[in-house]
């Protein structure tokens, strides 16, 4: 387990989780006893109106059995989220895998936090990290527009045309959707470069906003590429590391054999 999540003591985390669950169960028992006392004291006026803590989202009474189970699942959901972040595996996840995890955690649809469940879950994630990462590269490749000749339909070229990177209007600003796509691209390039995933709090959108792009300058230089914005909402992206672009293309070639030709050669008359 120390190999899967090296920065976390799994045994200590499980002990703390179990201690929290035990206290939640004790509180549930005390609330049940308080309800029985209230019914004995107030009779019919209290019947059907159980005392208890109420979840602000579901309005579920935690003095009920269903409420107790929900609170325990919420504890487990937060623990799974913490483990995922500390493991570093989120860096290798494509958008599909991330969304699946986040939906499960937000709905508290997670297995109990036990040694066996942690080992099974993170072993499976660790084994599939390469597949998830490559799936993310393909998803990024498919997300960019192929309507322009600078976007090669068979590989990542030196330049890409970005659609809807700028929200046009009286005060043009950065598109959230476009910046999210650039964040995905930056994440992939960072992994290929052996660098940690950039902090989302200082991602592409925030950096562009701070630079007042594109109002004060049509061009912005980011970690692995530069972007030029245009009044029609589109943009041009120019890669600054051809070696990393070649590695992305090698992943595409692995999944689509024969789609990419050798170095210096062209296909379908399109040049990167």
Highest mean pLDDT among 134-138, 139-143, 247-251: 247-251
Taking CB atoms within 8 Å and a gap of at least 24, the contacts of 27-32 are 27/62, 28/62, 28/63, 28/67, 28/68, 31/62, 31/63, 32/63
The pLDDT tens digits for 227-262 are 998 888 888 999 999 999 999 999 988 887 765 544
Which tokens belong to 196?
A: 């940690």
- Distances, alpha carbon 120 to alpha carbons 10, 90, 124, in Å: 13, 17, 6
- Is pLDDT at 48 greater than 70 in this prediction? no
The rounded distance, in Å, linking the Cα atoms of 124 and 118 is 10
Confidence (pTM): 0.66
- 162's enclosing H/E stretch is strand 159-162
pLDDT at 260: 56
Average pLDDT for residues 13-31, to the nearest whole number? 90
- Distances, alpha carbon 142 to alpha carbons 77, 217, 226, 227, 266, in Å: 32, 29, 20, 19, 20
Which tokens belong to 217?
A: 């300058």
- 239's enclosing H/E stretch is strand 235-239
The rounded distance, in Å, linking the Cα atoms of 11 and 14 is 5
Parse the chain into domains and list their residue ranges.
Answer: 10-127, 133-255
More confident residue, 53 or 199: 199
pLDDT at 63: 66
Burial class (CB in 10 A: 0-12, 13-18, 19+), 178: buried
pLDDT band at 263 (very low <50, low <70, confident <90, very high): very low
Average pLDDT for residues 108-118, to the nearest whole number? 92
244-257 b/e (C-beta count within 10 Å ≥ 16 → b): bbebbbebbeeeee
Average pLDDT for residues 80-109, to the nearest whole number? 85
- Is pLDDT at 111 greater than 50 in this prediction? yes
Q: State the distance between the two ends of the chain, measured CA to CA, in whole angstroms.
A: 44
pLDDT at 209: 87
């Amino acid at each position: 387990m120390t190999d899967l999540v090296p920065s976390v003591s799994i045994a200590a985390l499980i002990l703390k989780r179990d201690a929290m669950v035990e206290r939640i169960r004790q509180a549930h028992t005390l609330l049940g006893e308080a309800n029985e006392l209230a019914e004995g004291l107030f009779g019919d006026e209290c019947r059907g109106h159980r005392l208890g803590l109420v979840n602000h989202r579901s309005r579920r009474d935690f003095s009920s059995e269903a409420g107790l189970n929900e609170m325990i699942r919420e504890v487990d959901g937060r623990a799974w989220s913490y483990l995922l972040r500390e493991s570093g595996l989120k860096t290798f996840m494509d958008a599909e895998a991330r969304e699946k995890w986040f939906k499960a955690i937000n709905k508290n649809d997670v297995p109990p936090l036990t040694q066996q469940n942690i080992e099974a879950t993170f072993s499976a994630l660790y084994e599939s990290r390469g597949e998830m990462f490559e799936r993310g590269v393909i998803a990024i490749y498919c997300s960019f527009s192929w309507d322009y000749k600078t976007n090669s339909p068979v590989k990542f070229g030196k330049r890409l045309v970005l659609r809807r990177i700028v929200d046009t209007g009286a005060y043009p600003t950065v598109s959230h959707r476009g910046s999210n796509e650039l964040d995905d691209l930056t994440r992939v390039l960072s992994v290929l470069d052996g660098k940690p995933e950039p902090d989302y709090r200082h991602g592409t959108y925030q950096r562009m906003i701070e630079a007042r792009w594109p109002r004060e300058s049509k061009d912005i230089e980011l970690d692995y590429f530069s972007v030029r914005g245009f009044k029609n909402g589109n943009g041009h992206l120019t890669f600054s590391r051809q070696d990393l672009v070649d590695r992305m293309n090698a992943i595409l070639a692995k999944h689509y054999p024969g789609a990419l030709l050798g170095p210096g050669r062209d296909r379908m008359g399109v040049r990167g």
